[in-house]
Amino acid sequence: MARGPVTGRKGVVETMSEQDASRGVMFGGVFRRGGVETGDQAWLRAMLEVEAALARALERAGLAPAGSGVAVTKAAVPEHFDVAELGALAALTGNPVPALSRALTKQVPRTAAGAVHRGATSQDIVDTAAMLMAARGLDVIVADVAAAARAAAGLAVKYRSTIMIGRTLLQQAVPVTFGLVAAGWLAALDDAAVGLARIRADRLAVQFGGAAGTLASLDDAGPRVAALLAEELGLPLPVLPWHTNRLRIVELAGALAGAAGTLGKIARDVTLLSQSEVGEVHEGPGSSPGSSPGSSSGDGGSSPRRGGSSAMPQKQNPVAAVAILGCTKRVPGLLATVAAATEQEYQRAAGAWHAEWETLADLLSLTGSAASWAAELLSGLTVDTGRMSANLAAAKGLPLAEHVTSLLAGTLGRAAAHDLVAEAGARAVSAGLPLRDVLLGLPQSAERLEAAGITAEQIESALDPAGYLGAAAAFVDAALAAHQSAKEQADRHG
Amino acid sequence: MARGPVTGRKGVVETMSEQDASRGVMFGGVFRRGGVETGDQAWLRAMLEVEAALARALERAGLAPAGSGVAVTKAAVPEHFDVAELGALAALTGNPVPALSRALTKQVPRTAAGAVHRGATSQDIVDTAAMLMAARGLDVIVADVAAAARAAAGLAVKYRSTIMIGRTLLQQAVPVTFGLVAAGWLAALDDAAVGLARIRADRLAVQFGGAAGTLASLDDAGPRVAALLAEELGLPLPVLPWHTNRLRIVELAGALAGAAGTLGKIARDVTLLSQSEVGEVHEGPGSSPGSSPGSSSGDGGSSPRRGGSSAMPQKQNPVAAVAILGCTKRVPGLLATVAAATEQEYQRAAGAWHAEWETLADLLSLTGSAASWAAELLSGLTVDTGRMSANLAAAKGLPLAEHVTSLLAGTLGRAAAHDLVAEAGARAVSAGLPLRDVLLGLPQSAERLEAAGITAEQIESALDPAGYLGAAAAFVDAALAAHQSAKEQADRHG
Amino acid sequence: MARGPVTGRKGVVETMSEQDASRGVMFGGVFRRGGVETGDQAWLRAMLEVEAALARALERAGLAPAGSGVAVTKAAVPEHFDVAELGALAALTGNPVPALSRALTKQVPRTAAGAVHRGATSQDIVDTAAMLMAARGLDVIVADVAAAARAAAGLAVKYRSTIMIGRTLLQQAVPVTFGLVAAGWLAALDDAAVGLARIRADRLAVQFGGAAGTLASLDDAGPRVAALLAEELGLPLPVLPWHTNRLRIVELAGALAGAAGTLGKIARDVTLLSQSEVGEVHEGPGSSPGSSPGSSSGDGGSSPRRGGSSAMPQKQNPVAAVAILGCTKRVPGLLATVAAATEQEYQRAAGAWHAEWETLADLLSLTGSAASWAAELLSGLTVDTGRMSANLAAAKGLPLAEHVTSLLAGTLGRAAAHDLVAEAGARAVSAGLPLRDVLLGLPQSAERLEAAGITAEQIESALDPAGYLGAAAAFVDAALAAHQSAKEQADRHG
Amino acid sequence: MARGPVTGRKGVVETMSEQDASRGVMFGGVFRRGGVETGDQAWLRAMLEVEAALARALERAGLAPAGSGVAVTKAAVPEHFDVAELGALAALTGNPVPALSRALTKQVPRTAAGAVHRGATSQDIVDTAAMLMAARGLDVIVADVAAAARAAAGLAVKYRSTIMIGRTLLQQAVPVTFGLVAAGWLAALDDAAVGLARIRADRLAVQFGGAAGTLASLDDAGPRVAALLAEELGLPLPVLPWHTNRLRIVELAGALAGAAGTLGKIARDVTLLSQSEVGEVHEGPGSSPGSSPGSSSGDGGSSPRRGGSSAMPQKQNPVAAVAILGCTKRVPGLLATVAAATEQEYQRAAGAWHAEWETLADLLSLTGSAASWAAELLSGLTVDTGRMSANLAAAKGLPLAEHVTSLLAGTLGRAAAHDLVAEAGARAVSAGLPLRDVLLGLPQSAERLEAAGITAEQIESALDPAGYLGAAAAFVDAALAAHQSAKEQADRHG
């Protein structure tokens, strides 16, 4: 067993320093792009906001002296607190709130001390802070998904009639339009945005139940304080405290996973369509830091070229699509964690609740990062319509085999038509000939067509991709109309 | 490496017989209880219903001769088809639909043959069949969740004022009522039902897009046939075919996982509350097969006793709760599978779609089984209020320490009050004395209380659990009111 | 909410019939190919084998009358038992063993009755049965993975020098050989087989602990009976009963997931390499049922064409690769279930154990099916070396940009070389010209090359893919040598 | 939709600042305890070590000027690099290595510049850095698991004969010893350590393949440089580069998940055993920061009391066990992510590889944190043997029902014995009487016993828990012996 230079540096039962624990920045350009904030400072800020709002609510309910709310609010600013110390003290009680509320108490005037954390349990603060972060995060994500949807709508309009080959099971199938592809992305993005907005509007909620969900330490004033707290924070008031009813969290995570899945599907398509051998779309130059002209040179500047490879000068990697996939592939596992963490014991759980904190933060950040990347990706997507035509032409009529079969089925019967065309197709492939040439040129086939009264013109017409697009345009229009109507509805509610 | 008797029976690249593949029955009593049907016969029936509805839709659209719809519908009965053969042939094309549509074609009169599967791709049939199964499954699950909710509501009403100890992190905390516990279950079940019903009403949809989502083989009649198909099946019509937009599936799976999580939380509580050392609730006798009186004897009859152990005669295992947990613990992983399968390529996917079929069926069955178990469990739950009182009494006042602290905080200040009570509590624990006796009996403590003007009556009153229930009753009432209003709303829409 | 024809068929709290629960066959051709048996009959057989072996062990230990072992073994044949009844009765106790042991007891002579299930708890029977199924399943999977590895080795040998373009992030990168691609598959398959074989040899074990792991009902004979039971079954004897130490199960699931991941990677490569636009490999005709000549016609026969599409006559889908992906994409979620189920309470768990049964069976079946498909896929893989050359030629020298850069770096410095080549590459792409022509033909570039003393011959040589394969051949040889040595080692231990 | 105070702060497509992205510290006391380092600085340090080792390897291979290795090694110190800048630039290329190698190049003398990153692709650096971090992390985790195992062994020795009630499905079952419980933990910890150590010794490996796995830019020197690199880093050399063969990563993650599962099971037991109603074990005071005497006061100091609740002065939460569960419950989902990420395309993957980075780091940290907590937890565990006796006594003989049944079965037959005892047990429960009193005192029962020739002494003896421990002591000894032998083996290889 090779040990040499690779050896653990630390002994047993030792506590990590702040620097050792700190993370998220090195790969942040990939996984934490955009405006969703779920880092340590965001948690601190949100927890302080909850404590401050609680003090104001208590004052409004007559349970704290006048001025307490303002005093606590003034003290509750992140700059006064040391995340590293709070994090270390979290080890004593299993979460950072007891240390935070003590530290906050020390920052306020003696008269306001009684308004700090009164009635609350640690979980009230952490859960409500998580809801605040989720609310803000969802706003950002919905905006980025909407930006991506607008870009997709633009593509759907612009390429409504641009014919390309459709592909199923990664094999060329029948013609579609790029407009329809973009309309499919659009419809999915619109759906995802609706799902996220629904959670934002209906399923977030303040958490305030005290030690075991009765708010006993507030006597009978609990529900009123809870209502005021909800008002102060702009979060809905739930019917009951939900300490061990985690359905909201699962629904939030589920909506994020749905959105991430949608973004991942689009990114997968972009990586495939931009393969060297397909080349139908390309990522634009992006707006990343350091992507200004000149920065892409190999002159030893600190900024590598966007999409570049340190080794291969010709490479133009689909960075945005790859980054999206890097984000979205992490989401299903995190979703499973949250779903499994629903099994929470009694009035407050031993471990399952704790497992949610960073997991939920990661779900928000990763989905947010993917959405931010996607908004940029779709806004800048370059479409190579020439390559689309060329790829279709290179298929030499095979993608229209189904159409030709339909044409022949009327007279030959479906099975015979299928067999004749399948045979011709196989021959066309092996000989490298257009399907047309085989169908019309091969005596055996030509005779049968003639006998069936099928003309060469009919065959040629059936082989025209433009004549075999079915409802493609109608579907594009339907997706655009639905998008327009969703946008109007969102504007009314926004 | 011990090989002896344990050796593989089969060689490489061999196909499994029907008997070998068949599964789901041996453990079906645990995992497939209740009315959700997702087995092979349910799939077959649903796929045939889709093919039949398509034929009727084609006829109505004027694309198939009069009578085709009826003819295909008549032929499309499960009894005419051999699941084992379809399953074996699925290996040729990657799914059973090509073989099924061929077999169906052979069952219909020649004139109706053209109405079979026309315009459709295999995925249209499988996806729409899955939606039918989901629709039916959701109806059953919603009904069972509602039954469980009704039972929980009954418990909340009956035990509205039954005091018990609340427990956090598995430690005794402060008093709650069993009514509040049941109200918490109720609110969660109601939430879960709303989530499921929303999917049932809004997010299922017919799938009909043909080879690559253009319905090209129906020329421009595709959207009309799709609309008629949706009508025939009683499923919503989507804006676009959703072959590679799997958000619906994720949302469905997410709602099921939310419901499963809710059921799992309740079952976890029941297993904990029915621990030998807690004993506050017990499962009722259940309505399982063979649970009739007498069947539980050890007389060699084939029916073991409900909740019994083959070895330990005294055992009364919480079978329903354990079965629920057995179901619900399988859900998060399956949810992750579905969420990861959203990354589907181009117009139709190579593998990710396939991964959904049995996974979705399992999600429906497991959630359905858990819901069915839960309806029975909560309907028959025995509550031991005597044990609740006894457990609370055995805590000797410690759960009221917070209350006493509040009382003292007014005069002593919160920190000093906290310390005094914490010290008294520690002493009470180590000496096995009631907190009251330590507080009032210990000179050091008694002096401080006297100095602060706190009387023994005040202490005793603060130690009365009934006086420290906060909003428990109000929360019970709120949950019951919300339940009532949800029920009325569901009845209006049902 | 459209309800019409889609309505739940069953009420609340009803038990599913056998037919309703039975599953696994309809999609069995995809998900349960090959010789791994984990269906209901396999469970029944394995559980009976354990009960029979226990009776023999008890007799050998002097705890059951002579002849009991034979008598129980004779009775313990699957044909005597009704899976549907056992499954229904499983609802009473949470697992089918109490009903099974009762039924078995009734089948044996009175004198042997005392030898049935003596000392055992239900979990002993189910866990040991699962180990038997795992042992047999692993034998089959290892054999199929080995068959796939042999096929990969054959490809590595045959195409050791066949140059093709290597692709990274789905973009053409630098040349590789198909031999190296196959060697990569080979090395991964060999690794996976080692992992599976290690579990098979070292980590399966008999489970025998009685009610709570003390085997108390056997007095002090427990360990001896356990040892005899292990011997009878050919399974290792663990240090302790492992009722709630599930590490073995996680390790088994982990090895299966590793193998599945390896198979999925290969299948992903095959789907990509066989894309219409790449076309470098194709699946062979396979050996599926009904794939005999003639069966692939559209003549209404019940057998569809292998890889065919019901709609598109030209389609040749990569069915095996897609089926593998359909299987392997289901594995990570199931693995998570098993890993989460490790948190088992006290001496035997309430739910987490139950969640393992069908999950483990699915993991075995899905990995086994993928392995069976892969053995066929790789054995029949058609390699289109012409297309490989053509695809490389179509890249017009760009994949050698890195090589040219290296050549120039010596004199120009790396950064300048990188920039010059990157610029030439960009120009080559936009003009559709070979890199050579731009480098040598563009005055600006030609001058700099001349100034640096680089000749056209040097450039042309650097642009020869055969000269830029690095260690490709050495790596192929290393993988083949490692394969040979692994095979010899396996043969020695097999 | 309530928006008020909760609104997203940032627009679309904006890049997060370092402070916003930074995370891991606030909850670090729970999730990143102990010596496993996987934060940004650990990544930076490890990547620089790989670059430095590569330069030294190149020099040793004669591919870089003398002195290059030292020069690059000297420059490759974390202090010279800005994580925030690297992280931001990672957005350009999808990973931070291109920016890092540029920055490093600028730090070295011109003559050594050619030795920086030569031959490598970004993935070589990241993967090898991950392996270094894994190697160090595994050393730390193995040490902490071993410390936990030593503590468990101590408990097994000390409490070898301490009788307590065994519990199955959370119900009291039959007697066990606490020594056996600890021996079960010990055996599981030893197993887990073996699994981790095996990965550490056999399955980590250097990654070095260049752009597409051929090391072409090093001509034929690739394998030699790879071997030297492996030597420099003390990591094994693989047969082939493993850019898209991720079995090593799955195996590493699987071993971590196995260890985490083992730790979670122990923590679950501790939370259950330390329930207020059970009280058989308690967490010790711990060695956390601020847990010094006096710091636990409520005097407004910044340190809360270990295990304390801000609200409830009497609470003594099992913080270590809860923290372990908080960590281990996050592992299965992350494992699923890694397992799903095995499906990597071609020579290097588009997204799946990226998804591994932070996931693997989290798996190492969470398992490491759980192991560190567990070492402390088990070392300080307080065992309340009095409570164990009391709990057993409170069961009034019921846990011996199985034993009494065995006694009676000899004469009455097993079924009749089972029924008689079950009936007596039920009566004992309902009447609150000891089983002995019912069996011997109830005329109906006493008569049957007399008729069967069973004496009161026999019954009383059968009801003695000490007489019904079966192989408990033997199993404790077996686990201790296995532990000793594992330790000796580890010492020999360590």
pLDDT tens-digit readout, B109-118:
999 999 999 9
Summarised one tens digit per residue, pLDDT across range B391-446 is 999 999 999 998 999 899 888 887 788 889 988 988 998 898 999 999 999 888 88
**Beta-sheet pairing, B382-383 with C163-168:** unpaired
Residues D63, D66, D69, D72, CA torsion sign = negative
Residue D414 pLDDT exceeds 60 = yes
Supply D184's token pair: 């079960």
Burial of D207 (0-12, 13-18, 19+ CB in 10 A): buried
Report H helices in A413-463. Answer: 414-431, 435-441, 443-451, 456-462
Task: Round the average pLDDT of chain A to a whole number and report it.
Answer: 91
Chain B residues in contact with C352 by the CB 8 A cut-off are: 325, 329
- Subunits next to D (3 or more Cβ pairs <8 Å) are A, B, C
Summarised one tens digit per residue, pLDDT across range C213-233 is 999 999 999 999 999 999 999
- The minimal CB distance from A169 to the residues C168, C278, C317 is found for C317
Residue B244 pLDDT exceeds 50 = yes
**What pLDDT, on a 0 to 100 scale, did the predictor assign at position D442?**
87
d(CA B152, CA B381): 10
Q: Any residues with CB less than 8 A from the CB of A294 and at least 6 apart, and which?
A: none
**What pLDDT, on a 0 to 100 scale, did the predictor assign at position A18?**
57
- The minimal CB distance from D472 to the residues C214, C247, C335 is found for C214
Compute the average pLDDT of residues C284-307. 54
Q: Do D352 and A329 make contact, defined as CB atoms within 8 angstroms? A: yes
B1 confidence band (pLDDT: 50, 70, 90): very low
**What pLDDT, on a 0 to 100 scale, did the predictor assign at position B295?**
34
**What pLDDT, on a 0 to 100 scale, did the predictor assign at position A307?**
80
**What pLDDT, on a 0 to 100 scale, did the predictor assign at position B71?**
98
CA angle A465, A466, A469 (to 5 degrees): 85
Compute the average pLDDT of residues A158-184. 97
Summarised one tens digit per residue, pLDDT across range B272-303 is 999 999 999 999 877 644 333 333 333 445 57
Compute the average pLDDT of residues D85-95. 94
**What pLDDT, on a 0 to 100 scale, did the predictor assign at position D51?**
98
Task: Round the average pLDDT of chain D to a whole number and report it.
Answer: 91
Residue D187 pLDDT exceeds 50 = yes
Q: List the one residue out of C189, C234, C242, C184 whose CA is nearest residue C50.
A: C234
Task: Please check whether residue B121 is in contact with residue B210, taking contact to mean a CB–CB distance below 8 angstroms.
Answer: yes
**What pLDDT, on a 0 to 100 scale, did the predictor assign at position C489?**
82
Residue D14 pLDDT exceeds 60 = no
Which of B8-17, B482-491, D419-428 shows the lowest mean pLDDT across its residues?
Answer: B8-17
Q: List the one residue out of B96, A299, A340 whose CA is nearest residue C323.
A: B96
**What pLDDT, on a 0 to 100 scale, did the predictor assign at position B287?**
60
Task: Please check whether residue B166 is in contact with residue A347, taking contact to mean a CB–CB distance below 8 angstroms.
Answer: yes
CA dihedral (D59, D62, D66, D71) in degrees, to 10, reads: -20
Q: Do C83 and B6 make contact, defined as CB atoms within 8 angstroms? A: no
Backbone φ and ψ of B350, nearest 5°: -105, 75
- The minimal CB distance from D180 to the residues C174, C213, C262 is found for C213
Supply B240's token pair: 């676009």
Residue type, B346: Y
Backbone φ and ψ of B164, nearest 5°: -145, 170
**What pLDDT, on a 0 to 100 scale, did the predictor assign at position C411?**
86
Compute the average pLDDT of residues B370-384. 97
D309 noted as active-site residue: yes
DSSP B234: T
Q: List the one residue out of C68, C104, C49 whose CA is nearest residue C232.
A: C49
Q: Do D171 and B395 make contact, defined as CB atoms within 8 angstroms? A: no
B309 noted as active-site residue: yes
Task: Please check whether residue A271 is in contact with residue C168, taking contact to mean a CB–CB distance below 8 angstroms.
Answer: no
Q: List the one residue out of B314, B324, A442 whose CA is nearest residue D429.
A: B314
Q: Do B87 and C27 make contact, defined as CB atoms within 8 angstroms? A: yes
3-state secondary structure of A374: helix
Task: Please check whether residue C132 is in contact with residue C38, taking contact to mean a CB–CB distance below 8 angstroms.
Answer: no
Residue D8 pLDDT exceeds 70 = no
d(CA A16, CA A29): 25
Which of the residues of A are catalytic?
A: 309, 348
**What pLDDT, on a 0 to 100 scale, did the predictor assign at position A54?**
98
CA angle D265, D26, A359 (to 5 degrees): 55
C16 confidence band (pLDDT: 50, 70, 90): very low
Backbone φ and ψ of A426, nearest 5°: -60, -45
Summarised one tens digit per residue, pLDDT across range B30-56 is 999 999 999 999 999 999 999 999 999
d(CA A192, CA A142): 9
Summarised one tens digit per residue, pLDDT across range D21-64 is 899 999 999 999 999 999 999 999 999 999 999 999 999 999 99
Task: Please check whether residue B243 is in contact with residue B354, taking contact to mean a CB–CB distance below 8 angstroms.
Answer: no
Q: Do B425 and D171 make contact, defined as CB atoms within 8 angstroms? A: no
D328: left (phi over 0), alpha (psi -120 to 50) or beta: alpha
3-state secondary structure of C175: strand
Task: Round the average pLDDT of chain B to a whole number and report it.
Answer: 91
Cα distances (Å, whole numbers) of residue B359 to B341, C306, C334, D343: 10, 25, 10, 19
Task: Please check whether residue A27 is in contact with residue D357, taking contact to mean a CB–CB distance below 8 angstroms.
Answer: yes
d(CA B124, CA B119): 9
% of chain A exceeding 90 in pLDDT = 79
Q: Which residue's entry shows tokens 């429906």?
A: B364
pTM of the full structure: 0.95
d(CA D494, CA D492): 6
Summarised one tens digit per residue, pLDDT across range C404-440 is 998 998 888 877 888 899 889 889 988 889 999 999 9
Chain D residues in contact with C242 by the CB 8 A cut-off are: 187-188
C191 confidence band (pLDDT: 50, 70, 90): very high
Report H helices in B83-121. Answer: 83-93, 97-107, 110-113
Compute the average pLDDT of residues A295-302. 42
Q: Which residue's entry shows tokens 């990153």?
A: D117
Residues in chain C: 494
Q: Do B33 and C15 make contact, defined as CB atoms within 8 angstroms? A: yes
Summarised one tens digit per residue, pLDDT across range C442-467 is 888 888 899 889 999 999 999 999 99
d(CA D416, CA B309): 15
Summarised one tens digit per residue, pLDDT across range C326-378 is 999 999 999 999 999 999 999 999 999 999 999 999 999 999 999 999 999 99
Residue D489 pLDDT exceeds 90 = no
**What pLDDT, on a 0 to 100 scale, did the predictor assign at position A494?**
57
Task: Please check whether residue B207 is in contact with residue B123, taking contact to mean a CB–CB distance below 8 angstroms.
Answer: yes
CA angle A326, A330, A333 (to 5 degrees): 160
b/e code A44-62 from CB counts within 10 Å (16+ = b): bbbbbbbbbbbbbbbbbbe
Output the 3-class SS for B148-182.
HHHHHHHHHHHCCCCEEEEEECCEEEEEEEHHHHH
C290: left (phi over 0), alpha (psi -120 to 50) or beta: left
Task: Please check whether residue B171 is in contact with residue A345, taking contact to mean a CB–CB distance below 8 angstroms.
Answer: no
- Please tell me which residue in C217, C309, C414, C485 is annotated as part of the active site: C309
Chain D residues in contact with A11 by the CB 8 A cut-off are: 35, 143
B310 confidence band (pLDDT: 50, 70, 90): low
Residue type, C460: E
Q: Which residue's entry shows tokens 């061929």?
A: B102
Regarding predicted confidence, which is higher, D412 or B329? Answer: B329
C277 confidence band (pLDDT: 50, 70, 90): very high
Compute the average pLDDT of residues D379-391. 97
% of chain B exceeding 90 in pLDDT = 79
Q: Which residue's entry shows tokens 């996806």?
A: B127
B493 confidence band (pLDDT: 50, 70, 90): low
Burial of C310 (0-12, 13-18, 19+ CB in 10 A): buried
Supply A267's token pair: 């990114």
Q: Which helix (H) or strand (E) holds C272?
A: helix C247-273
Summarised one tens digit per residue, pLDDT across range C143-184 is 999 999 999 999 999 999 999 999 999 999 999 999 999 999
**What pLDDT, on a 0 to 100 scale, did the predictor assign at position B255?**
98
Burial of B430 (0-12, 13-18, 19+ CB in 10 A): exposed
**Which residues, in sequence order, are bridge partners of residue A383?**
A281
Domains with residue ranges and CATH for chain A: 123-218+237-286+315-387 (1.20.200.10), 398-462 (1.10.40)
Task: Please check whether residue A298 is in contact with residue A312, taking contact to mean a CB–CB distance below 8 angstroms.
Answer: no
Residue B492 pLDDT exceeds 80 = no
CA B296 to chain centre: 29
Q: What is the ipTM of this complex?
A: 0.94
Using N-to-C axis directions, what is the helix angle for B122-158 and B247-273, rounded to 10°?
A: 30
A294 confidence band (pLDDT: 50, 70, 90): very low
C494 confidence band (pLDDT: 50, 70, 90): low
